[in-house]
Amino acid sequence: MRLLRLFVLYTALSLGANMSSAEEADFSALLTAKQGEYKKLIVHDTPKPLPDIAIFDVAGKEIRFSDFAGKSLLINLWAEWCAPCRKEMPYLSQLQADKGSDAFEVITLATIRFSQPRIDQFFEEIGVDNLVKYNDPKGKFAFKIGIAALPVSLLIDKNGNEVARFIGDAEWSSDTAYSLIDTFLQAQE
């Protein structure tokens, strides 16, 4: 019975996707790519535009996600005190090393008031040096998109829309994660 429901859901999604405009990416394949721990991935029916809220780079320069237009992102919201965040960050580092490109980037976003030296210390302690570190010092971005727990990872399409959300830590350098990311990127080609 469960298989029948999944078949009906997938068929309905496939038919609906075929009626969408050619300009819009079809992310329904993410639903079938969800396996293992990634079954918790929340794929939105309609991509959600990111709010136009400033975040900051290591030099304190204001950055907006519109600055990343044309690039697909995995945005990871984290905090220094968060044990699952500490566990997950090396996997994100490996994902960036293996899949990062002009078309895709892993973005880390500290969501609580951390000084840049504390953020740098966190990354040094866990041995991660290839991820760009951004800060949401007052948590405005996290609040605006409804983040209630950490870590959270967002899949953002090249048009700046949130396509999917994963709540909790994940092994982002696993074969299953790579397959999921490949499916996400292929949907935008």
pLDDT band (50, 70, 90) for residue 15: very low
- Its domain, for residue 75, covers 26-186
35 pLDDT above the threshold of 90: no
Residue 7 located in a structural domain = no
Q: How many CB atoms lie within 10 A of CB 117?
A: 8
84 close to 118: Cβ distance less than 8 angstroms: no
What does the pLDDT read at residue 24?
58
**What is the C-alpha separation between 22 and 140, in angstroms, rounded?**
34
CATH of the domain at 99: 3.40.30.10
Token readout for 44 is 């939105």
User: Could you give the number of structural domains in the chain?
Assistant: 1
Q: Rounded mean pLDDT of the chain?
A: 85
Quick one: pLDDT at residue 79? 92
**119 is a domain residue:** yes
pLDDT in tens, 90-136: 999 999 999 999 999 999 999 877 778 888 999 999 999 999 999 99
Q: What angle do CA 84, 105, 148 make, to 5 degrees?
A: 35
* Least confident window among 24-28, 64-68, 178-182: 24-28
Give pLDDT tens digits for 123-175: 999 999 999 999 998 899 999 999 989 999 999 999 999 999 999 999 999 99
Confidence of residue 19 (pLDDT cuts 50, 70, 90): very low
Q: Give the model's pLDDT for residue 7.
A: 34
* pLDDT confidence of residue 39: 86
pLDDT at 102: 94
Amino acid residing at 136: D
3 lies in some domain: no
* Phi and psi, residue 14, nearest 5°: -65, -45
Contact (Cβ atoms closer than 8 angstroms) between residue 129 and residue 2: no
pLDDT at residue number 30: 87
Domain membership of residue 167 (yes or no) is: yes
Contact 119, 79 (CB under 8 A): no
* Pair 67, 107: CB distance under 8 Å: no
23 has pLDDT over 70: no
Q: What is the pLDDT of residue 33?
A: 77
Band (11; pLDDT cuts 50, 70, 90): very low
Report the chain's C-alpha Rg in angstroms.
17
Query: Is the separation of the CB atoms in 104 and 181 below 8 Å?
Result: yes
10 is a domain residue: no
> Encoding tokens for residue 106?
């892993």
